[in-house]
Chains A and B, each alone.
Chain A
Amino acid sequence: MNPTVMYLLRDAVLDGDVSQAIIEVKNLLNTKVKPEKIIKEGVVKVMVELDKKCTVEHFNLLEIMMAGRVIMAIVNELYPIGIPSSQAKGTIIIGTPEGDIHDLGKNIVKIMLMGKGYRVIDCGKNCPIEELINAAEKETANAIFISGLISTIIPKVREVKSKLSRRNLKDIKIVAGGGALKQLTAKSLNVDYVAETVFDGLNYLKELHEVEL
């Protein structure tokens, strides 16, 4: 593999240039570089750079969205029918609970999870909690990511853990994030982790991955 091509791919992602990124992905595939390696050496490295740049105080959503759009295009190019379970780092269920339609944060997290090589099942916005749990059971998920901006969804989020336990699914981790949810602690929200930012959530998953997944 010509390492320059991987650099060119990373530049295209950071630059938000979808067409150039796809050209570089095709160049890499033509030189027999495997999709997993393109994700690991190309996409994930860019996300580490974004993570360093985007602190809570200096968060650049537009830059993340620009990169996110390219990452989505790369993932679709490499895995047109989705990342197969056998190659995925794990399966994550994601959704915005019923009563809340603010799904921008959820969509960003979804893209970044896919960019990291996770298989993501998106239950959408305004989604009943039961739907998230059903999906987690059906897809043998490793974690459920719940995103929410408004406080009225908090009681429903608090129910997820006990509902998982009742179905013998207590090993599934629950990660919460978003405007309203991140005002609370994990203990108070009855979840495993409250992520301050998208990268904070990804890092929690990475730590979990090293230990359990």
Chain B
Amino acid sequence: MNAIEGIMKAINFETPDRTPVIPQILGHAAIISKVPLHEYLRDGELLARCQINAYQHYRYDAVFALMDVCVETEALGSVLEYKKNYYPLIKKYALSNTTNHEVLSIPDPYQTKRMPELLKAIEILKAELGDEILILGCVLGPMTLTVQLLGAERALYLAIDDIDKFCQILDFSKTVSLKFGLAQIEMGAHLPLVFEPSGSPAVVLHQFFREFILPRLKEIFSGFKKAGAAANWLHIAGHTGSILSYYPEMGVDIANFDYYVTPLKAQKLLPKTCLDGNIKSLCFIEATPAEIASKSKKLLDSFANRGGYILSSGCEIPPESNPENILAMVGATK
């Protein structure tokens, strides 16, 4: 059984020959290949090579064609600052002087800024790995992209003061995400993971999520499925306990849960949805391999009778993580 078959079995609550394991390895792939992070983030071919190296070293079940959270906003005109070995920072937001999104146009993913580099990475990964393991693309959720266009404070105050205007930008962001994700599927991604950290209950109430974010995510996921995505994967970290029960309505097949939510609670809230999580990200820097192995085993045990589980971290494994810790997590499933 190959990795994709194993993951599909987990999604369908069937029994794979082992529990799939997907450490969320993004920039860490550059570090272990001794490639400067700021170069990895701007070069699709380099990104693909590093992801393949990381996969060959750790032997897990998915690779990530994911640069950072600024790809879409940069394509829409935000100005980024790239520092050596850091993820980029937004220096100026695309809508820093206006709330009129009509000054922006939907970017062509094949031509705009780093979007084509990300598509190139997917193409290379697909050519080299085929359907051996899951190839993940990534798009931002509409709330997160809206925050990335306006800045967090302005976005949230706009939601308070002028909800109609806010929703217009949310709709615009949804269209950007959908178009970018469809291009990723076209280039060979098995699915574009939807990353929506600003939809977390740490930022907005669950009622706000249900009213404004849920319908737009639903549309995005529906579009991805129609285009042939193998599954829909939603990634929101933090205290998601109050929104997890909304996931099935959006068509989510794999739900990320972070260390704030216990496996038992996640299982109760999503009895029929495949879950992935939830080792605390910083443990991959701070803990020992034995501790990671123990946490992994505990998680595997808690899902042993239920199934529908992918062993993972609650969020990104930090670039500077100890490789032995990642090996310990992967090893726990074998």
Contacts and interface: CB of A to CB of B under 8 A. Distances in A.
B156 interface: yes
Contact of A152 (B86, B157, B159, B204): B86
How many chain B residues sit at the interface, stated as a range, is 20 to 34
Given A102-B152, A151-B282, A152-B319, A62 B89 contact: no
Given A59-B201, A62-B156, A183-B282, A151 B238 contact: no
Contacts of B286: 184, 188
Contact of B160 (A57, A58, A66, A103): A66
B281 interface: yes
Contact of A151 (B83, B204, B205, B320): B320
A101 interface: yes
Contacts of B204: 61-62
A107 interface: yes
Contact of B89 (A56, A107, A126): A126
A100 B153 CA distance: 16
A104 B153 contact: yes
Main secondary structure, interface of B, reads loop
A134 B121 CA distance: 44
Contacts of A65: 153, 156-157, 160
Interface string A151-183: 110100000000000000000000000011001
Interface string B28-52: 0000000000000000000000000
A58 B208 CA distance: 13
A203 interface: no
B280 A62 contact: no
Given A65-B156, A151-B285, A183-B280, A57 B238 contact: no
B304 interface: no
Interface string B203-225: 11100100000000000000000
Nearest to B27: A152
Question: Which of B159, B241, B318, B319 has the most A CB atoms < 10 Å from its CB?
Answer: B318
A172 to B, nearest CB: 25
Interface string A38-70: 000000000000000000111111100110010
Most chain A beta-carbon neighbours within 10 Å: one of B89, B242, B259, B319: B89
Interface string B276-298: 00001110011000000000000
B104 interface: no
A99 B157 contact: no
A16 interface: yes
Contact residues of A: prevailing secondary structure: loop
Nearest to A99: B86
B87 A150 contact: yes
A61 B285 contact: no
B203 A61 contact: yes
Contacts of B157: 65, 69
A180 B83 contact: no
A53 to B, nearest CB: 12
Contacts of B318: 151-152
Given A62-B204, A151-B281, A180-B282, A99 B83 contact: yes
Interface in B228-281: 238-239, 241-242, 259, 280-281
A182 to B, nearest CB: 10
Contacts of B83: 99
18 contacts: A16-B160, A56-B239, A57-B242, A59-B239, A61-B203, A61-B204, A62-B160, A62-B204, A62-B208, A65-B153, A66-B160, A100-B89, A102-B152, A104-B153, A104-B156, A151-B285, A152-B318, A183-B281
Given A151-B285, A151-B318, A152-B320, 4 more contacts: A16-B160, A61-B156, A65-B160, A179-B238
Interface of A: 16, 56-62, 65-66, 69, 99-104, 107, 126, 150-152, 154, 179-180, 183-184, 188
Interface of B: 83, 86-87, 89-90, 152-153, 156-157, 159-160, 201-205, 208, 238-239, 241-242, 259, 280-282, 285-286, 318-320
The 7 closest A-B CB pairs, nearest first, are A104-B152, A151-B318, A183-B282, A101-B89, A99-B86, A61-B203, A60-B205
